[in-house]
């Protein structure tokens, strides 16, 4: 099958000053979601599209052939047309190495149309010694659209065995109604370079090393029984909290959790995703490791 058949077309490597670019739009055709526009360039690549089950959901995996960022800036733009269903993931962890001059940057914009569903479950982001990382994510949704975003951030291995030797990780996520109204915003700032050895103490990381987040958007998150089940999945033993809200006709739920391993947080993300799917699409548990 040729690249043109799959809808791939390489974007200019220096488009907009970014070292890596990814532009993806999908739409529902003939009972399943299909690619409309798929462009990638620079340090980013898209693997061939996949259908992991018979739901008609389209799956794409993002690849960084270099395996890491050293101060580059990358840009994602993804559009999920009305009634279409997209799952986006990554081939492996995003690794941020030493950034002596400029921080590594990821700007992402996701748009989900009426009746559409978007799942974004990448592998963890790892920041190594002297790494500075800035991530800005914009999610624009129709009132009845659904979105599931799960992510994990973790410090990388240090040759001296010291924890939190990266410079900083700043993650900002904003959700807006398709008409432009701000629904909610999440701003995470973990800056060991400023906080020092107390970064893992009370009020910061609470002696944990890893942080995970889950954001679920959709009308179903306003159902008390849905929220209660998520709280049960989090459980009393995990350092985590569940927050809900609604604004401009868009309802959402967020889980923020701290742990000492990626596996613990990844299991939590998949548990919540499994529950979310059981309520919305009827799909089974997500298992990207098989593909």
DSSP 139-193: EEE-TT-EEEEEEEEEEPP-TT--S--SSEEEEEEEEEETTS-EEEEEEEEE-HH
The whole-number pLDDT of residue 165 equals 86
- Residue 258 three-state SS: strand
Q: What distance in Å separates the CA atoms of residue 165 and residue 158, rounded to the nearest whole number?
A: 7
Residue 125 lies in a domain: yes
Residue 6 lies in a domain: no
The whole-number pLDDT of residue 226 equals 98
Residue 219 lies in a domain: yes
Residue 163 lies in a domain: yes
Contact residues for 189 (Cβ-Cβ < 8 A; gap 6+): 168, 169, 170, 171
Q: What distance in Å separates the CA atoms of residue 173 and residue 210, rounded to the nearest whole number?
A: 18
Residue 9 lies in a domain: no
Where in the sequence is the domain holding 230, given as residue range(s)?
20-283
Q: Are 10 and 42 in contact (CB under 8 A)?
A: no
Residue 81 lies in a domain: yes
For β-strands 210-217 and 146-155, DSSP reports them as antiparallel
What is the pTM for the complete model shown? 0.90
The whole-number pLDDT of residue 13 equals 38
The whole-number pLDDT of residue 291 equals 44
Residue 2 lies in a domain: no
Structure tokens at 169: 């990780």
The whole-number pLDDT of residue 67 equals 60
Q: Edge-to-edge, what's the strand order for the sheet holding 73-80? A: 8-10, 32-42, 20-29, 73-80, 104-112, 132-141, 168-177, 182-190
- Our count of domains for the chain comes to 1
The whole-number pLDDT of residue 49 equals 96
Q: Which residues of the chain have pLDDT under 50?
A: 1-14, 291
Beta-strand (E) ranges in the chain?
A: 8-10, 20-29, 32-42, 45-46, 58-63, 73-80, 85-90, 94-96, 104-112, 117-120, 125-127, 132-141, 146-155, 168-177, 182-190, 210-217, 239-247, 250-259
């Amino acid at each position: 099958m040729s690249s043109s058949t799959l809808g791939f077309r390489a974007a200019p490597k220096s488009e907009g000053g970014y070292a890596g670019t990814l532009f993806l739009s999908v739409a529902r055709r003939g009972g399943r979601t299909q690619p409309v526009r798929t462009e990638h360039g620079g340090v980013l690549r898209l693997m061939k599209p996949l259908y992991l089950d018979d739901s008609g959901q389209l799956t794409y995996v993002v690849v960084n052939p270099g395996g890491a960022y050293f101060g580059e800036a990358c840009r994602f733009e993804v559009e999920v047309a009305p009634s279409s269903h997209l799952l986006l993931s990554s081939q492996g962890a995003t690794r941020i190495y030493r950034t002596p001059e400029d921080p590594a940057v990821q700007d992402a914009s996701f748009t989900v149309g009426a009746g559409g569903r978007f799942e974004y479950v990448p592998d963890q982001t790892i920041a190594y010694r002297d790494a500075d990382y800035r991530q800005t994510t914009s999610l624009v949704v129709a009132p009845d659209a659904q979105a599931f975003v799960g992510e994990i951030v973790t410090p990388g291995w240090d040759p001296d065995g010291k924890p939190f030797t990266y410079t900083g990780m700043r993650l900002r996520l904003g959700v807006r109604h398709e008409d432009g109204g701000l629904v909610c915003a999440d701003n995470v700032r973990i800056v060991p370079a400023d906080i020092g050895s107390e970064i893992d103490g009370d009020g910061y990381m609470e002696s944990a090393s890893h942080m995970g987040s889950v954001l679920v958007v959709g009308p179903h998150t306003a159902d008390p029984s849905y929220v209660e089940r998520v709280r049960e999945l989090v459980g009393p033993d995990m350092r985590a909290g569940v927050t809900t809200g609604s604004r401009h006709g868009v309802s959402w739920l967020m889980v923020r959790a701290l742990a000492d391993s990626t596996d613990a947080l990844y299991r939590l993300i998949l548990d919540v995703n499994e529950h979310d799917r059981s309520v919305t699409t009827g799909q089974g548990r997500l298992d990207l490791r098989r593909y």
